[in-house]
A and B are shown apart, each in its own frame.
Chain A
Amino acid sequence: MMMRPGLFRDDLPALLALLIPVIWRAQGDPWLGPRLALCLIVVFGWQALFARLRGQGLSLHGAATAALVALFVPDTAPHWQLVIGLSFGVVLGEAVFGGRGRSFVQPVVLVLAFLIFSFADQPYRAGPELPLWTALPAVVVLIATGQAPVGTVLGAAAGLAGLSWLTGADPLAPLMSGALVLAVLYLTADPVTSGATAAGRWICGLLAGGTAALFATAGPAFGALVFATLLTSVFAPLIDHLALAVQVARLRRRERRLRHG
């Protein structure tokens, strides 16, 4: 099975940036290695199956999906729950739509939302505790390679800080947590699901950050961000549509003015 192009530009940097938080967490959690291996097997199993059915190539970005899930779930999570959640998220969130780039939800978001909804006995909402510095390489790499649109990231940060301040929480607290920064970069600012127009990306980021800060008043911030991202990705096509309509109307007006002016 052939590999798709874009390995060095798209897939590897995102993976390498995840290496540091994974290594940091592996020190306090001996089960992270087996969990990561299991996640990789499940994700690549489904992706290989669908790639074969559709005659497509296999890409490496599934490794990032697996690593993110392994990183974000609590260390007490039973492995069979992860298998069900991953199968659900990867198949229904990505594979049935035709693979990476054609879906409208981030598969990791769907996996986490499924686990949070289905299994209340595990603290999936809490998210891991990662220091901020473990997420800093990801900030640099993802923004430099264009995999996390700057507009969405800044919009989400502004939305989180702004609405946290309005609700009376500490506005900088969400930006000081490594897990939240990673979630914003990899999940909220996923280039596929966070809007395709420049204005749409800003609005998506603001919407995700703002709703996350609101949801966080009733629960852990990590779970709040997951649901806010899920909600935003549903609205992203509509936001893009509106942004395009505004842009087209502005160009038409300008054209008319130039012609008659």
Chain B
Amino acid sequence: MALRQLSDPLIDKNPVAVHILGICSALAVTTSMSTALTMSVALTVVVTLSAGIISAIRAHIPGQIRIIVQLTIIASLVIVADQLLQAFAWEMSQRLTVFVSLIATNCIVLGRTEAYAMHNPPVPSMIDAFGNGLGYSLVLMVVAAIRELLGAGTLFGAQVLIPQAEGGWFVPLRLMLLAPSAFIILGLMVWALHAARPRLAEAREFALRESEKEARP
């Protein structure tokens, strides 16, 4: 049970690739793997701790103001994470700009606390939140690996492919360092996921006509 809670959000219920949550930050910080890793760790810590705290006091939260209470707790944890990052990793916090503070508005965090932690005991809530944090991290790391490798020829800042300018054969794809490439890679990932797990695909909004009878006047 606990293992399924951890493994389900990795692929089958992945918050980014299946539920399409947290896209904004996932696309913004994936130009390099080190920023993506920092962001993943920050989000996983925040979502796990906030799920635990909210679950522990869930019986005392009045239903009508529960979102405000949840957001207060989440925002406090985000500020702590942001301050810790600024204190111990100043340069990384400069590269991440506002995106660590924006974890407070990340749909994954509020979604897990609202949908799961409000109705379940602390330990399962934290496991569920941790699993979702790992699912988010998995997507971020894969997208960042593709973008950094093809865009700059590096992984975690270490030169893997030597660019042509320095005597190698590799020509960096500049598109990979621009925002559209993140959308394209994520779209291809969702496509591959739907191809591998057909029951995840949504029903067609418009049915296509049979290709044999294509009407051409």
**Using a CB–CB distance below 8 Å, which chain A residues touch chain B?**
4-6, 9-10, 54-57, 81, 92, 96, 98, 102, 114, 117-121
Contact = CB atoms under 8 A, between A and B. Distances in A.
B214 A117 contact: no
Chain A at the B interface: mostly helix, strand, loop or mixed? loop
A147 B164 CA distance: 43
Contact of B216 (A5, A102, A114): A5
A119 B174 CA distance: 7
B64 interface: no
B74 to A, nearest CB: 35
Given A5-B216, A6-B216, A96-B191, A57 B175 contact: no
B171 interface: yes
B211 A117 contact: no
Contacts of B184: 92
Contact of B174 (A4, A55, A57, A120): A120
Interface in B158-195: 171, 173-176, 178, 184, 191
B216 A118 contact: no
A96 B208 CA distance: 14
Given A57-B211, A118-B174, A118-B176, 9 more contacts: A4-B214, A54-B211, A56-B211, A81-B171, A117-B175, A119-B171, A119-B173, A119-B174, A121-B171
Given A4-B214, A5-B214, A54-B211, A117 B174 contact: yes
A117 B151 CA distance: 12
A6 B184 CA distance: 33
A56 B208 CA distance: 12
Contact of A118 (B175, B191, B211, B214): B175
B24 to A, nearest CB: 19
- Across the A-B interface, give the 5 residue pairs with the lowest CB-CB distance, nearest first: A118-B175, A56-B211, A117-B175, A118-B173, A6-B216
A114 B175 contact: yes
